[in-house]
Chains A and B, each alone.
Chain A
Amino acid sequence: MGASRIASAVNAGELSAKEVVTAYLERIAELNGKLNAYLHVNSTGARRAASSVDDLVVRGEKLNLAGVPVAVKDVISVRGLPITCGSRVLRGYVAPYDATVVNRLKRAGAIVLGTTNTDEFAMGSSTENSAYGASRNPWAEDRVPGGSSGGSAVAVSGGMATAALGTDTGGSVRLPACFTGLFGLKPSYGALSRYGLVSYANSLEQVGVFARSVDDLALVYSAMLGADPKDGTTTNFSWSIRDALSRGVEGLRLGVVVEMSGEGIHEAVSSALSTTCKELERNGVSVGEASIKHMGYSLEAYYLIAMSEASSNLARFDGVRYGEHPAFEGDWNEEYSRVRSLFGLEVKRRIILGAFALSAGYQEMYYGRASRFRTLLIHEFREAFKQFDVLIAPTSPTPPFRFGEKTQDPLTMYLSDVDTVPVNLAGLPALNVPVGTFTTDGTTLPLGVQLIAPYGRDDLLFTVASQLERSGLSIARVVEPWGRIV
Chain B
Amino acid sequence: MVEENLDYLKVIELARQLRVGVTEEEAKIIAKDLSKVLEYVRRLGELDLEGYEPTYSVTPAKSVLRDDVAEENLPVEEVFVNAVGEKGFIKAPKI
Contact = CB atoms under 8 A, between A and B. Distances in A.
Contact of A203 (B41, B57, B95): B57
Given A320-B93, A352-B34, A411-B37, A340 B14 contact: no
A455 B49 CA distance: 23
A376 B61 contact: no
A300 B47 CA distance: 12
Contacts of A426: 58
A284 interface: no
B41 A349 contact: no
B21 interface: yes
Interface string A355-382: 1100100000110111111111011000
Contacts, number: 168
Contacts of B1: none
A217 B43 CA distance: 39
A371 B42 CA distance: 14
A189 B59 contact: yes
B34 A369 contact: no
A440 interface: no
B6 to A, nearest CB: 12
Contacts of B10: 356
Given A96-B79, A376-B52, A410 B47 contact: no
A328 B83 CA distance: 13
Contact of A372 (B30, B38, B52, B84): B52
B4 interface: no
B49 A322 contact: no
Interface string B41-66: 10111010100111111110111101
Nearest to A410: B33
Contacts of B84: 325, 328
A372 B49 contact: yes
Describe B's contact surface by its main secondary structure. loop
Interface in A123-146: none
Contact of B37 (A92, A190, A318, A353): A353
B22 A331 contact: no
B58 A427 contact: yes
Contact of B83 (A229, A301, A320, A348): A320
A299 to B, nearest CB: 8
B93 to A, nearest CB: 4
Nearest to B54: A371
Nearest to A366: B41
A203 B93 contact: no
A94 B80 CA distance: 11
A204 to B, nearest CB: 9
Interface string A308-333: 00010001001011110110101111
B47 to A, nearest CB: 6
B92 A297 contact: no
Interface string A94-111: 101100000000000000
B70 interface: no
A315 B54 CA distance: 24
Interface of B: 10-11, 14-23, 26, 29-30, 33-34, 36-38, 40-41, 43-45, 47, 49, 52-59, 61-64, 66, 74, 78-79, 81-84, 90-95
Interface of A: 92-94, 96-97, 189-190, 203, 229, 232-233, 235, 294, 297, 300-301, 303-304, 311, 315, 318, 320-323, 325-326, 328, 330-338, 340-341, 343, 345, 348-349, 351-353, 355-356, 359, 365-366, 368-376, 378-379, 410-411, 426-427, 455
6 contacts: A300-B43, A301-B44, A321-B79, A331-B94, A352-B14, A373-B44
